Structure 1
């Protein structure tokens, strides 16, 4: 998970809410034949480089595959305990996410619910585990993560993520329901199930890609080739598993 930079507000979403004060989420989804909903969903992913805000898998930009895109309410819209704060239509509360392994291609290949991730796993924790629908302070919030800081380490043997203790010790992220930033990071991994087998295997493919690049450099002696890829991995935030790539460059 990495920082997401985007505009402070979405004018068309705000305008819809201002004109439809009693609207529910499904009203918004059906408004103007769904065109505004699709625009908001697309704008979220454009700001995120077409990556899931949580696991960083690549989301197809082709509109014929738009069913792979989901809008996530970080503070779940089912929580209406604070009527002064409309979480349903708050642009700052919205994220673009993947389907969390709930699609047919993944459920046929991987066991569920063990391989559900992201909002699919988060929603399951709310419904079966009694977790609060307000996740601020329990999870890293992508739009509030400091710029160019990776709070994660990558385990090459397993593909798992873990809190980078040294980096975490230098930051006092807020809100935080735990004693340390490292605990907040590890709870983020746990609550979103980011270390499921499906994602571990996908992240290890990035490791294998790195090994192929290094092998080619050794065979050709072209160190510029390695520098090119490393620079791309460090600067191109639209690459899938961007956090994993940055961890591998710094090994």
Structure 2
């Protein structure tokens, strides 16, 4: 049976998928948790991404918009952000992977801030799909048994509609809103890459565009301390009858 499953995993990377593949292979791979290998995650990302597409199409979402979300996840998961501002070969020329454009993260130098192994980068992308399938109003995936397969080793919640909220504002994220406006949601790192954070499933989350703006280059812990300190100072200023604070409150009411 083990050899049969391993053979199926290799085949799942290329063959046309059917419902039985989702039901058999996703649990088998997920049960390996962080012990998965390159072949496992290559099959898993194909299984999860195709399942995402299928359930979204079944729910009557537009195929072109679904593909846009899938491209967004690939560019934020397995692929790096552009790592050079312009082409070093020919001014104005589109960059290729070697010249600074997006490339597979595991092809970068291990010391590069965008580097991640193929396993980790792919699991990040899988996590983005599962977070999206856990948004408010997401298509029902209950018949595929995903609910607890990835909790807690990859996710902090069940894969059920309405279980995922923005990690900064803690607001629910609506699936339909995301499909209609992909830029409203961004991928973020709780500990920013510029600060020494890594592209690892435990450090990556989808968040509202506004939340990413608010966080900036701070860690979430730094952000919360900054917000508490700022609110406290404003409250103190108001209690001390600060003219500026009163004017601020008047202008924002």
TM-score (norm 2): 0.27
Higher relative contact order (CA 8 A, sep 6+): 1
TM-score (norm 1): 0.27
Q: As a proportion of its length, which structure holds more helix?
A: 2
